[in-house]
Chain A
Amino acid sequence: EPEVTQTPSHQVTQMGQEVILRCVPISNHLYFYWYRQILGQKVEFLVSFYNNEISEKSEIFDDQFSVERPDGSNFTLKIRSTKLEDSAMYFCASSAGRRGDQPQHFGDGTRLSIL
């Protein structure tokens, strides 16, 4: 069964440094998403992306965040200058469409630890 893959599985970064989290969505999917989950808390939406542009973003997704689909297979999340509170699990997801019955499939996440 096709799956979403994320790399690295764990990223440790000094505060203030830039970090790029990588995702390979399911190949025939057109909609891409990033979510994050702070330890012990619920999963929070960050951003959705379609047709090479952001379709929706949350308040969390400020100017320090950006997303990119640099080629036909990768989808990246960049945090420009990391803060301690950016420490979390970051999940990438993809879906075939934007209808509710076209479910989002999640990767296993990247654990980001900011020191």
Chain B
Amino acid sequence: GESVGLHLPTLSVQEGDNSIINCAYSNSASDYFIWYKQESGKGPQFIIDIRSNMDKRQGQRVTVLLNKTVKHLSLQIAATQPGDSAVYFCAEILSGGYNKLIFGAGTRLAVHP
């Protein structure tokens, strides 16, 4: 069925450390996986995406890893900063669809000085 979920509801890290946020999905027929960041009182903000035929993609301070064998997606944030504190959602887009995003439950990242 259509299901995207997250392992950890809350992640606390020290400023400067690397953060890893994980996501499990159950649908094999997904074209793209996307990470969004949602700050309090704001809408989801696009961070990075990865196509299903890739296993790694890097952006500025962020890396997304996709393991299709175990249906697992992760977001790595290097040198985490206080401004990274937010809720992070993974989302998937099924192939052949109209770009409908299917969101996971979200992980709250708390960065401590």
User: Which A positions have Cβ atoms within 8 angstroms of B?
Assistant: 4, 31, 33, 35, 41-45, 48, 50, 55-56, 58, 91, 93, 95, 97-109
Measured CB to CB, the nearest residue on chain B to A103 is: B46
B98-A48 in contact (CB<8A): yes
Q: B14 to chain A: which residues have CB within 8 Å?
A: none
Interface size class on chain B is: 20 to 34
Measured CB to CB, the nearest residue on chain A to B6 is: A42
Q: In the bound complex, how far is the Cα of B38 from the Cα of A109, in angstroms?
A: 11
Pick from A44, A97, A101, A107: contact of B51, CB under 8 Å: A101
B36, B99, B100, B104 interface centre (most CB from chain A within 10 Å): B99
A104-B51 in contact (CB<8A): no
Q: In the bound complex, how far is the Cα of B106 from the Cα of A108, in angstroms?
A: 17
B49-A103 in contact (CB<8A): yes
Q: A98 to chain B: which residues have CB within 8 Å?
A: 98-99
B42-A100 in contact (CB<8A): no
Pick from A99, A106, A107: contact of B99, CB under 8 Å: A99
B98-A55 in contact (CB<8A): yes
Q: B98 to chain A: which residues have CB within 8 Å?
A: 31, 48, 50, 55-56, 98
Q: B46 to chain A: which residues have CB within 8 Å?
A: 103-105
Measured CB to CB, the nearest residue on chain B to A89 is: B43
Q: In the bound complex, how far is the Cα of B108 from the Cα of A18, in angstroms?
A: 34
The smallest C-beta distance from A45 to any residue of chain B, in angstroms, reads 5
A100-B93 in contact (CB<8A): yes
B36, B46, B101 interface centre (most CB from chain A within 10 Å): B101
Q: A33 to chain B: which residues have CB within 8 Å?
A: 99-101
